[in-house]
Every structure is written in C-alpha cells, then in structure tokens.
Amino acid sequence: GAVVSQHPSRVICKSGTSVKIECRSLDFQATTMFWYRQFPKQSLMLMATSNEGSKATYEQGVEKDKFLINHASLTLSTLTVTSAHPEDSSFYICSARDWFQPQHFGDGTRLSIL
Amino acid sequence: AQTVTQSQPEMSVQEAETVTLSCTYDTSESDYYLFWYKQPPSRQMILVIRQEAYKQQNATENRFSVNFQKAAKSFSLKISDSQLGDAAMYFCAYRSGRETSGSRLTFGEGTQLTVNP
C-alpha cells in the first residue's frame, strides 16, 4: 500500500530556532500534500494544502510567514516552523495523495519548543 | 461549508462484542466520499474504511462495516468482534468529489474507543 514517510518523528529545540519537517511519498507521486496540526485529544486541523510546483494554500488563521511550506517535487513537501516559540509546540502530521489514492498519512512529528 | 459531527467523545466495548460509532455530516453536494480513520496511541492515522456517496451498498472491510444513510447524512461505523487492538481514537472524515475542492478532508471531533478485556 501507499506509504508516506515523515521525518523527524520528534524534535525538541530552543525558542527562536527554525525547524524543518519533511514529508515524502515513497511509492507514488503525490499531486497534493496536506499539513495538519493536532492538539492533544483533539481532531486534526488543516493548516495548508500544497500542490507540486505551486504556492501552498493556507487555511484561515494560519500564518504563512510562520509556517513555510515547500512542495518542490512530486514526492517531497517540507514544513518549516520559523522562529518557533513554545505555543508552536504540537503534533504535526502530513498526508499525501494522487488522483487515485485516498489521503495517506505520515506518522507525525511531535514538536516541543523549550 | 461541509461539517462533520461525532457526538460520542468516548465509547467503550467489551472484547468480542460489537460497537457502533456515530457520525453525521452536512453538505449540499451530491458527489463526495466518506472515511473512517483510526488513530491509536502511536498517533499514526490509519484508513479503516471508505464509502463513495454514489454507491448504495455499504462498505465492508473484514470486521468493520458502515451504515451509510445518504438522505439522513449519517455514516456510522460498526466494529464486530472487537479486539484490544481496536482501541484508538476514531475520526470520521468527509471529502468533496469536486476536484476544485483540492481533495481536502474535513474531520469530525473524534471518538475515543476503549476495549475492555
């Protein structure tokens, strides 16, 4: 079945640093990738949708300059949390699909900002 | 805008018994897809089952089946012969059939399922 790899699985860093999270589709070409944020015991909140080679579409209330998304190829999208602060601590999940697949999810990244 | 509602924040079931998780949705579209995802403590999102709105037949995947009531906009998940490994958070999700929607998923709030031995 389709596999989506997300890296790193966990990151702890100091306030003010930038953190990059990678999302790769391993056995299919992802025409669209999605980035979600999830707080404990809550549902997934869509942050942005990215299509290969074009700018990401951000959901209302999501800061574009804070959460930089790059979808440079059909198999890779990255989310960079810039100048991260403790309130950015959360669980971030990516997903990917092509025209034929439902969304398949990465294993998520637990981000902790000290 | 589409909305998905899961009215049961928590459910519990005895091992080997059957449990039904509820989901309702609101949409004005006729072409769409519905999904149930499972999120165990590892927090990996696992697709359990999917249903195309144009199909009248309810989807089934082994011990998992759905009761899709299109007119009532209801999409419940039935888990038969519950196993300890079924314990997880379950999310109902909606996706528009329109390609211009960008294939985004709209999730419900989730139902935490506990399986008692």
Q: Give the pLDDT band (50/70/90) at residue B105.
A: very high
Q: Kindly state the tokens that stand for B95.
A: 């996706």
**pLDDT for the residue numbered B100:** 64
Neighboring chain A residues of B89 at a CB cutoff of 8 Å:
41
Cα gap A48→A40, rounded to integer Å: 20
Distance, in Å, from the CA atom of A66 to the CA atom of A63, rounded to the nearest integer, reads: 5
* Distances A76 to A15, A31, A37, A42, B12 between C-alpha atoms, Å: 27, 10, 18, 27, 39
DSSP B2: -
Residue range A96-111: average pLDDT? 87
- Residue A11 in tokens: 């990151």
pLDDT of A4 above 80? yes
Residue A90's φ and ψ, nearest 5 degrees, are: 180, -175
- Cross-chain residue pair A102–B33, CB shorter than 8 Å: yes
Report the residue from A49, A51, A102 with minimal CB separation from B50.
Answer: A102
B49: exposed, middle or buried (Cβ count in 10 Å: 0-12, 13-18, 19+): buried
For chain A, say whether B64 makes contact (Cβ under 8 Å). Answer: no
Percent of chain B predicted with pLDDT > 90:
87
For residue A8, whether the previous peptide bond is cis, meaning omega lies within 30 degrees of 0, is: yes
pLDDT over 70, % of chain A? 97
Q: CA nearest A81: which of A69, A94, A96, A72?
A: A69
The residue that leads in pLDDT, B23 or B1, is B23
Query: In whole angstroms, what separates CA A37 from the centre of its chain?
Result: 8
DSSP state, A86? G
The DSSP 8-state label assigned to residue A62 in this structure reads -
Q: Quick: pLDDT tens for A81-100.
A: 999 999 999 999 999 988 77
A103 lies within 8 A of chain B by CB: yes
Angle at alpha carbon of residue B109, lines to B72 and B91, rounded to 5°: 80
pLDDT digits (tens, 9 = 90+) for A56-85: 999 999 999 999 999 888 899 999 999 999
What confidence score (pLDDT) does residue A83 get?
95
